[in-house]
Amino acid sequence: MSGRTVLVTGAAGFIGFHVAKQLLAEGADVVGLDNLNNYYDSALKMARLAILRENSRFSFVQTDLADREAMAALFAKCRFERVIHLAAQAGVRHSIDRPHAYVEANLEGFANVLEGCRHNQCGHLLYASSSSVYGANTKVPFSIEDKTDRPVSFYAATKKANEQMAYSYSHLYHLPVTGLRFFTVYGPWGRPDMAIFLFTKAILEGAPIRLFNHGKMRRDFTHIDDVTRIVLRLIDRIPAGNGVAPAGIYNIGNQHPEDLMHVVELLEKALGRAAIKQMLPMQPGDVTETFADVEELIRDTGLKPETSIKDGIADFVAWYRDHYKV
């Protein structure tokens, strides 16, 4: 990595922070982009950013993906050899209430990233997709060969659109692109709107945790250290194209879905407290199970997520107690 400059969008976000931090550790110069919006506690974003700023090879740009002129100027100035696009408006349920935020960040913003890569000879664009593109598919595990044309949330629809937008740019302009379908990423510095963070906070505060579908859910929880390791391995794995678009897609998941109630039990043990459980019906836009088939990832990189849910939760709880002094 040494000696080259990599753009990481969403650098103050959960995955972006970890990826940028590891890139810096491996000798890359990193430009981190983030708009520092208030979708969740901005103090957490600022704390992540403060750690990155300790490294002199990190520079930060605060701008919005949807700002076409600012994005074009940044790409023209820096001419990034590699771009890791992790910024997005996240959240399944939030997309029901605020769809236009998803249009601006996930569609307009992604178009600006694609245009920047196209006009400035980017050698490889990695971008975040999501397991949510699989919608209500009932065949498990989810394979990258499965149909993904029936999203059950608007967030999922924007992520599916990103995959199609990336493929079209790859086909038209021979831009190498790799989509990363992340499966429920968790771990230290995680997002406060995700289940493990929400449950930990509530249990420690003696507040109820909300268990939708009466707790009958399964998720392929994927630890951030595994995700970071895989993303960095993929940076220089350029899709071949084989005469067509040089475009690839990978599932980034643990290949081991966990029952939500088991996750709650592990949190109770790690925290030394019982959870107050509030059983609720299924929410609009949600799915009962996610389960990643990572055959292609293993074949092409030799890597797969390996952190057990028990070890991952212990790691998260240790960080949470230290960061929030509880």
The residue with greater pLDDT, 92 or 29, is 29
CA atoms 192, 198, 200, 204: torsion sign: positive
Average pLDDT over residues 55-62: 98
- 105-129 CB burial, b ≥16 within 10 A, e <16: bbbbbbbbbbbbbbebebebbbbbb
Q: Is 127 part of the annotated catalytic residue set?
A: no
- C-alpha closest to that of 4 among 83, 111, 97: 83
154: confidence class by pLDDT, cuts 50, 70, 90: very high
Which residues are 252's β-sheet partners?
Answer: 182
- Calpha distance 74→246 (Å, rounded): 25
Summarised one tens digit per residue, pLDDT across range 181-195 is 999 999 999 999 999
Range of the domain at 49: 5-185+222-253+292-306
Looking up tokens 């890569």 gives: 117
**Would 192 be classed as within a structural domain?**
no
**Would 49 be classed as within a structural domain?**
yes
- Calpha distance 63→9 (Å, rounded): 10
Structural domains in the chain (count): 1
Q: Coil, strand or helix: which one is 310?
A: helix
**Would 205 be classed as within a structural domain?**
no
Does 161 score more than 60 pLDDT?
Answer: yes
Residues 61 and 74 sit within 8 Å (Cβ to Cβ) = yes
3: confidence class by pLDDT, cuts 50, 70, 90: low
**Would 58 be classed as within a structural domain?**
yes
**Would 264 be classed as within a structural domain?**
no
**Would 60 be classed as within a structural domain?**
yes
The CATH number for 245's domain is 3.40.50.720
Cβ contacts of 293 within 8 Å, gap of 6 or more: 141, 142, 143, 144, 251, 255
Does 101 score more than 70 pLDDT?
Answer: yes
pTM, entire model: 0.95
Summarised one tens digit per residue, pLDDT across range 268-310 is 999 999 999 999 998 887 788 888 999 999 999 999 999 999 9
**Would 76 be classed as within a structural domain?**
yes
- Calpha distance 209→206 (Å, rounded): 9
Q: Which of 39, 155, 167, 250 is catalytic?
A: 155
Looking up tokens 């709107």 gives: 193
Q: What pLDDT shows up at residue 75? A: 98
Q: What pLDDT shows up at residue 1? A: 57
**Would 315 be classed as within a structural domain?**
no
- What tokens appear for 33 in the block? 């982009």
Q: What angle do CA 295, 298, 301 make, to 5 degrees?
A: 140
